Amino acid sequence: METNAVRYSSPALAEKIAQNYGSTVRKVQVTMVGADDVSKLIAKVEKARANAHTKPMKLD
């Protein structure tokens, strides 16, 4: 499940930078090698944070 997706697509900016060198942009499709593992870890951390109050640590 995707949550809070904010993406910053910048084709015009990429093109401007390329033009500074008399060049053009190159498009590359990427397979994210660790996406599932990273997503699981983020989800686990967020779940732990949501449940943190169930066992507060006492400090004095």
Partner 1 sequence: MSRLAPATAINVVATDRPFSSFAFTEAHFAGTAPIRRIFSLGRGHGARTLVIEDVPAAVAVEDENTELTELNPDYRMGGLKRISFWKEPFSDSERITSLGDDHCLGYAILKRDLIPSRGVDRWHVFEAVFVQNSHEHNYCPAGYRFPFRAGGKEFTVRGCLYAQQNNLNKACAQVALRSLCATYLGDADLTYRRINDLASGGDPNFNPANGLDSVKIAKVLDGLGIPFFDLNYLADPTLQRDFPYQKLVYSGIETGCGSLLAFKLSGPSAPAEGHIIPCFGHTFNEDAWGPHADVMYFTVGAQIAYVPSRAWTSSFIVHDDNLGANLCIPQSFVKDENAGYAVELLPKGYSYSGALAEIVASDYFYSLLPAVFNTGRGNLWVNRLIHYVTDQRLILRCVPITVNGYLEYLGKAEDWEHEKENPQSLEDLTALKPEKLWMIEVSVPEVFSTNKRKLGEILLDAENPLSDQVDGTSFVLARFPECYVFFDSISSTGQPSFLTSPSNFKSHLPLLTR
- Closest approach of partner 1 to the CB of residue 22, in Å: 9
CB of 27 to partner 1, least distance (A): 6
The binding site for partner 1 (CB under 8 A) comprises 1-11, 13-18, 20-21, 23, 25-46, 48-49, 51-60
- Cα separation, 18 vs 20, whole angstroms: 5
Min dist CB 31 to partner 1, Å, is 6
d(CA 39, CA 1): 10
**Cβ(30)–Cβ(20) below 8 Å:** no
